[in-house]
Structure 1
Amino acid sequence: MEVSCAFPTALDSPDNIAVAEQLGYARAWVYDTPQQSPDVWMTLALAAERTERIGLGPGVLVPSLRHPMVNAAATATLAALAPGRVVVAFGTGFTGRRAMGYRAITWSYMRSYIQAYRGLLRGEVVEWEGAKMRMLHPDGHAPARPVEVPILVGALGPKGHQVATELGDGVYVTLQLPEFIREYSWVPYLVWGTVLDEEEAVDGEHARTAGGPGWALAYHGAYEFGGPDAVRALPGGAEWMDVVERAPQDQRHLAVHRGHCVELGEADRAAWEAGGHVMLKDVTMTGTRDEVRRRLDEVAARGVTEVVFQPCGPDPRRELERFLDAATS
């Protein structure tokens, strides 16, 4: 199983990706979350300039945020800067849409989008929104078509599985491990958490800052997919909902996603302090070195071919070092 990393796109992401390359990580993914992040393509371009070996890609692009021609041109640019190192993953939009108050895009839209995007990279004439178009870049303005990059699809259910089977080179998964991933030869699995010292408490400062942002996804996901009752069923869930419900109904998504994958928001802190931290090992890849190693063996046995670890907290290098040591021991 390959060991890769991910970063919630930030101004220091290119430097962190360079560190990950030095440490030996296989690939670095960055998120397409414009409501809280710098531009994903600018960040990847800077990372390409600062690295030589590590794979690079957006994980995951949200199609509705850009015209397929824009993503195709950006992909071609990155492929020129980092030849042979680029992969692109698409998803229907969790934070990238829900944090702005939208629902996920439909899988029929995703299918049409990837078909147009692939066709553009091949140099074909495609139709989008009723118009015919193709990449017209002269020599020196982009690599010659076709531009070959692998495409992964963020799929958890049967509709996503079908699109990934038809149009993808693999599936990019997080939060769940559906049984169908065994049918794919390439399955990156995005995880959060931290490697704890022996006897280190799960409610300590290190556990909170390094593992907490990933832990908070349990509440964000429960709210988005199950509603308030699903959140209240979690330890600290009532306290989490109390904070969220102070916001006007049409602005609650802002309270839910504040600090997403970076730090604990106000609602997350309330849940943690109310005892929600007891779930840390259950909902993230958190544990001692040996515990994390066993968890990684388990997910590999279920079909994961690439673990993608997102470090959190004030010392990303330390988190990257400790996770890689656990993963490769």
Structure 2
Amino acid sequence: MDIACAFPTALDSPDNIATAERLGYTRAWVYDTPQQSPDVWMTLALAAQRTERIGLGPGVLVPSLRHPMTNAAATATLTALAPGRVSVAFGTGFTGRRAMGYGGISWSYMDSYVRAYRGLLRGETVEWEGKQMRMLHPNGHAPARPVDVPILISALGPKGNKVASELADGLFATLRLPDSMRNYSWASYLAWGTVLDEGEAPDSDHARTAGGPGWALAYHSAYEFGGPDAVRELPGGAEWLDIVDRTSSERRHLAVHSGHCVELNEADQAAWDAGGYSVLKDVTISGTRDEVRRNVDGLASRGVTEIVFQPCGPDIRSELERFLDAVRS
């Protein structure tokens, strides 16, 4: 299994990616979340300049955020800066859309978008929004076409799996493992959590800051995909809802996704304090060194070929080191 990492794109992400390379991580993914992050392509370009070996890519791009020509040109640029190291993942938009109040894009739109994007990188003339277009970059403005990069698609259900199986080189999954995981030779799984010291309580300050942001995704995703009733089933769910419901319905998504993947927001903290921390090990890969290794081994047995670990908290280097030590032991 490849051991990769991911970062919620931040101003220090290029330096964190360089650290991950020195530690031995195989690839670094960064998120396309413009409502809370600096530009994903600028960040990857800086990372390319500061590294030599580690794979780089956006994981995941949300098609509705950019024209396919824009993403094709950015992909070509990054390929020139980091030849042989670029991969690209696409998704329908969890944080990248829902944190701005939109639902996910349709799979028919994803299908059309990826076909156009791939065609552009091959140097073909494609049709998009009723118009014919082609990458016209002269020599010195982008690598010669075709520009060949692996593409992964984040898909959980049958519609997404159909698109991924037809158009992608691999699957990029998170939150849960789809049944189709074993059908792909490249199957990435994005996971959160932290390595706890022996005897460390699940509600320690370290557990909260390093494991809490990933734990909070259980509440964010339950609300988005199952509604309030699904959140109430979680420990501390009622307290979480009490905070979120103070915000008007047209702005509630802002309360839900504030701090997403980075820190606990007010509702998350209320749920944590009400006992929500008790499911930290259930909804993340958190645990002692041996427990984390067993969790990762279990993912490998279910078809995961690349574990993608997102470190959180004030000491990113330490979290990267602790995780790598756990899974390599």
TM-score, normalising length from structure 2?
A: 1.00
Residues in 1 aligned to 2:289 and 2:233: alpha-carbon distance in whole angstroms: 30
Where does residue 131 of structure 2 map in the other structure? 131
Give 1:152's aligned amino acid.
L
SS of match in other structure, 2:170: coil
1:55-94 Cα shifts (integer Å, max 9, x gaps):
0000000000000000000000000000000000000000
Residues in 2 aligned to 1:79 and 1:327: alpha-carbon distance in whole angstroms: 30
1:68-127 Cα shifts (integer Å, max 9, x gaps):
000000000000000000000000000000000000000000000000000000000000
- Post-superposition offset of 1:5: 0.2
Residues in 1 aligned to 2:59 and 2:328: alpha-carbon distance in whole angstroms: 23
SS of match in other structure, 1:28: strand
Residues in 2 aligned to 1:175 and 1:246: alpha-carbon distance in whole angstroms: 27
Residues in 2 aligned to 1:14 and 1:157: alpha-carbon distance in whole angstroms: 33
Give 1:111's aligned amino acid.
D
Give 2:33's aligned amino acid.
T
Report matched runs for 1:70-109 at 5 Å.
70-109=70-109
Report matched runs for 1:91-170 at 5 Å.
91-170=91-170
Report matched runs for 1:286-301 at 5 Å.
286-301=286-301
SS of match in other structure, 2:69: helix
- Post-superposition offset of 1:327: 1.0
Where does residue 224 of structure 1 map in the other structure? 224
Where does residue 173 of structure 2 map in the other structure? 173
Identity percentage of aligned residues: 78
Where does residue 305 of structure 1 map in the other structure? 305
Give 2:181's aligned amino acid.
I
Where does residue 57 of structure 1 map in the other structure? 57
Where does residue 194 of structure 2 map in the other structure? 194
Where does residue 322 of structure 2 map in the other structure? 322
Residues in 1 aligned to 2:157 and 2:64: alpha-carbon distance in whole angstroms: 20
Residues in 2 aligned to 1:294 and 1:212: alpha-carbon distance in whole angstroms: 20
SS of match in other structure, 2:92: coil
Where does residue 206 of structure 2 map in the other structure? 206
Residue 31 of structure 1 pairs with residue 15 of structure 2? no
- Post-superposition offset of 1:41: 0.2
SS of match in other structure, 1:171: strand
SS of match in other structure, 1:282: helix
Where does residue 69 of structure 2 map in the other structure? 69
Unpaired segments ≥5 residues, structure 2: none
1:183-202 Cα shifts (integer Å, max 9, x gaps):
10001100000001100000
- Post-superposition offset of 1:178: 1.2
Report matched runs for 1:227-238 at 5 Å.
227-238=227-238
- Post-superposition offset of 1:213: 0.1
1:199-226 Cα shifts (integer Å, max 9, x gaps):
0000000000000000000000000000
Residues in 2 aligned to 1:290 and 1:204: alpha-carbon distance in whole angstroms: 19
SS of match in other structure, 2:268: helix
Give 2:255's aligned amino acid.
A
1:236-262 Cα shifts (integer Å, max 9, x gaps):
000000000000010000000000000
Residues in 2 aligned to 1:285 and 1:317: alpha-carbon distance in whole angstroms: 18
The alignment covers a number of residue pairs equal to: 329
Where does residue 44 of structure 1 map in the other structure? 44
SS of match in other structure, 2:171: coil
Residues in 1 aligned to 2:180 and 2:17: alpha-carbon distance in whole angstroms: 31
| CA-based RMSD | 0.3
Where does residue 13 of structure 1 map in the other structure? 13
Unpaired segments ≥5 residues, structure 1: none
Residues in 2 aligned to 1:36 and 1:180: alpha-carbon distance in whole angstroms: 31
